Structure formats: C-alpha cells, structure tokens
Amino acid sequence: MDIEVDIIDFKVPLENNKTIFVWDIQPIFSEAYIYESLWSVYSAFGALYLLKVCPNATVAEPGFYAMVKFYSSAQASKAQRATDKQCLFQSSPIKVRLSTKQNLSFYSTKPLSLSKCQNLANHYLGFAGWSTRIITLKDISRCVDAGCQDETDDQSVLLKYGCIAELTFQQHGMSCQGVGVAEEIIDNDRDPEEKLRKRGTLMKRAKDKAVVAAFEKVLLMVLGNGKVAIEIKYDPDEILPEENSEGVIKVNDISWNEFEDAADSNTEEDFPWGLTVDLPH
C-alpha cells in the first residue's frame, strides 16, 4: 500500500493551491474573534503561514472574508473540502474555495523569516525536536573580502560580521549548516556606545541569517500516519569549513581563513557583548 507523503520546505508558500478563501462570515463578530476562531479550525489541518481577516467591500453585504495560506497544498485542499458549507463558529454556513489566481510562470522563492522557521519546526517536530548552535561568529570588517577600502572613506567605517550556524535534529540523527553575513557602513564620529549597540545588532543579524540559511536546506516529509521524516538538501558546490579546518574556503563571498580557528577560540574577547554560543528557541 502506498504511503501518502506531504513535502514541506522552509520557503514562503507562493503557490495558489496552498491558499484558501473563506466567505460569508457574519458581521456580528469582531475581527479578533474571527481570527482566533479560524486559526483554531484551520491550524488543525496543518501549519499556517498566514491568516488574514478583512471586512467585505462597501458594495457587498456587511460581513467579513478571510485568506488562509498553508505551507502544504494537500493540507489546504483537505481543509477546503472539510470546512466548505459548514457553520464552524457561526449559525450559518461559510463558503470556502481554493485560490484560483494564476501563478506567474516564473517566480523566485523567498526564505522564511527566522520566527516563521521556528514556528514551522515547532509545529511538526516539537520544541525539543531541533536545536541550533553557533560554530563561528566573527568580525570580518577588516578582511580583504569585506571590501572596506572600496566602500568607505575617512568619515565612515564598514562593520561586517559573518556566522556559521548548525541546525541539528537529534532524534533523526541529522544536521546541516548555514552561513549568514550582516554589514553596515556607519559614521566614524558616532558615539562609542552607539557603535557598540550596532555591533551587537549586526552580530545577531548574521546569526539569524545563518540559522535561516540552514533551515532552507531542510525538507519535512509528513507521512499520512502523522509521523515526520527529515531530508537535508545538500548543494554539491557548497563547501563549508569544519570546526578545525585549515586553509581558505569561500562561501557567500566570505574568506573563511578569517574563521579557521574561531570555533576553538570563542572567548569573551571575541564576544564582548555577552553573546552566548548555544541558541535557545
């Protein structure tokens, strides 16, 4: 017997077959109540990327409609069939339809935000089903690849941080890594405390980007029996340094010879803002 498998990746769901519209919602409820009620109903079918409640146009009868976007087309279709012409939280039936808007022939995929990645992972794997850690987080403002001399003048300075983060699924015995870079040009005459805050912000941004990049490599395989398997998409052209690697390895325009010893030397000197290397989620 074939086992039904639904594949979910950590990308913004752009396909129309992942979106449903809910019409004929009565005007006696507040938007907040409708939102909470619909979220309770439709999140039971699968993780939701977006739920939006809007009032009907002025030319239509008073009331509301809603747009619900799933990560999975199969879950969207199942939700549409199960809830169409049902009363749900009100006294009269609602109308539920899959989106009929035509997708563009070519569209670029977009990564999820970090919070969306975390929510999606928590939904299918649980809070204890995954973890992250920083392998390397370092100031690369002065390295040649940062382009400091080309992008700044005497009145400004380039701040640039690079991070490698590891995403681990211990119960599945799998892990992957991601790279993140954050940079900003600031005025040389800024207050030292402001520069310090900016450095902390850039470090966090680089770390967040690295975790998101790691999540982009993950596929969730949701089986018909409710179990979840994981597959990692490896790019054969991407080479990430080991913790004790030597030499120059370039990924995303970073010269990793600046990073080679960082994993073994994460001292307070490297992280003067009290940054922890184990990341809670």
123 lies in the same domain as 210? yes
Q: What is the pLDDT of residues 90-118, one digit of tens each?
A: 999 999 999 987 655 455 678 899 999 99
183 lies in the same domain as 75? no
94 lies in the same domain as 118? no
Q: What is the pLDDT of residues 197-208, one digit of tens each?
A: 999 999 999 999
Residue 257 lies in a domain: no
Q: What is the pLDDT of residues 3-60, one digit of tens each?
A: 678 999 999 998 899 999 999 999 999 999 999 999 999 999 999 999 999 999 988 8
* Nearest residue to 232 via CA among 6, 10, 4, 2: 10
* Predicted model pTM: 0.78
> Token pair of 155, please?
């009145």
- Whole-number pLDDT of residue 181: 94
Domain-terminating residue out of 190, 212, 232: 232
How far is 62 from 47, CA to CA, in rounded Å? Answer: 30
Residue 251 lies in a domain: no
34 lies in the same domain as 80? yes
Write out the residue range of the structural domain in which residue 56 sits. Answer: 12-98
160 lies in the same domain as 228? yes
173 lies in the same domain as 227? yes
Token pair 């490599």: residue: 217
Q: Is the pLDDT of residue 85 over 50?
A: yes
Q: Is the pLDDT of residue 149 over 50?
A: no
> Token pair of 183, please?
């940079």
Given a contact cutoff of 8 angstroms between Cβ atoms, the answer to whether 216 and 110 are in contact is no
88 lies in the same domain as 164? no
> Token pair of 118, please?
């975390």
Residue 55 lies in a domain: yes
**Structurally, how many domains does the chain consist of?**
2
68 lies in the same domain as 136? no
Residue 206 lies in a domain: yes
CATH number of the domain bearing residue 81: 3.30.70.330
Average pLDDT over residues 253-275: 40
123 lies in the same domain as 91? no
49 lies in the same domain as 119? no
Q: What is the pLDDT of residues 225-259, one digit of tens each?
A: 889 999 998 877 665 555 544 333 333 434 444 44
59 lies in the same domain as 125? no
Given a contact cutoff of 8 angstroms between Cβ atoms, the answer to whether 134 and 123 are in contact is no
19 lies in the same domain as 92? yes
